[in-house]
Chains A and B, each alone.
Chain A
Amino acid sequence: MGKSEEIFKKLRQAVISGETEECAKVTQAAIDAGIDPMKVLTEGMSKAMEVVGEKFENKEYFLPEMLLSAEAMYAGLELLLPLLKADETEVKEKIVLGVVEGDIHDIGKNIVKAMLTSAGYEVIDLGVDVPASEFVKKASEEEVGVIAMSTMMTPTLMSIKDVEEQLAKKGLKGKVKTIIGGGTVTEQWRSRIGSDAFGKDATDAVDKVKLLIEEIKTAVKLMEKKRKERTRKK
């Protein structure tokens, strides 16, 4: 086993068992050893969070265990992020994320944020109790492809609908894709209010975001192709 692989394994272990200090220590060791920070993220954090997601699905892990893993991951990520930004060549996909208006429960949102970040996305976190207009404004300002919204409460399901309505009004529906999730959100609710995807848990949310971004890319390619064809015809 190579030295890097040994460090990655230690790092994964620290994230999976939710050891914050250990995770920071191992990440620093990886940086000091000159390992590519992007590899530390993909081989260490991402893989570990995938395992955590699986454990949650299999009912080995519950919220407390998952939150500690997320906390540990962030401790390492904080050290990595400045280095990642420096040698970034490819533009990362941006996602706007927040808990909808009227709800301050950010437990699910934080877990999804951890998973998305570890999967390599740039997450713009709007926090909790976010008005519909704020989601829409941020999404157009930052030119993001995906808005991710969550709520834990039943009454605030209506606030997700408000965001969909505002997107429609601004003619952004379809251009900006939406994914929703949280304690009370269901696939039925998604289809009723016309969101683009429903993440049943954090792992599922990451998979669905990947799909949404692929859809956007395909749509953009198609549009470009059509434009080229048109110019050729001229």
Chain B
Amino acid sequence: MRTLFIAVGTAVTLFLGGCAHAPQAKADLSAFQAAAPRSILVVTPVNHSLDVDAPNYLLSTLAIPLAEKGFYVFPVNTTKVVLEQEGYYEGEQIQKQSPVDLAKLFGADAVLYVTINRWDAQYAVLAASVTVNFDYRIVFKDGTELWKTQQQMVYTPQATNAGNPLANLIAAAVTAALTRAAPDYLPLARQANGLALVTGPAAIPDGPYKPAK
């Protein structure tokens, strides 16, 4: 009987312990806060997807969330053009360079590196879904890594329910066909950036231009 009590007690304790540990996912931002960068350079992402256009498309969505977070963000297209003048076209080439040199070249306090793990659409007979998955990493001008996270977003278009099985099937087929013709990655990329950098549990601290609340 006593053993049963102990067993139950232990189980409860373990359970509570599990609960207490669950929401500890809060990121360690002390290195970022100590470095307190004012400006962030965003370079062309590394591409591990099969879509050769993905890095440029993603690049176009990265400046706004960082600037809205209160940082000076170097103009992303100007940065891309300057690096291309120097012979750096691909994200992989750029990430192989020393972040110290890169930051010095632009006079930046920190560099944001992004790697595209997924940028694709999956098709079933009557449905489709689009997936993006990115690694984000911010490195200080002295080479110290200040922050990193990973973010995935999946979009599955919801066909409107017409209340009639045949109509629903047709609607689903139309949705799948539309997604197949032109999957729109931009809203997904924006959502992933917003969660990773601004609103998610691992979001970066506010920059100097964010007014204190």
Q: Do A and B bind each other?
A: no
Report A's interface with B, CB cutoff 8 A: none
Report B's interface with A, CB cutoff 8 A: none
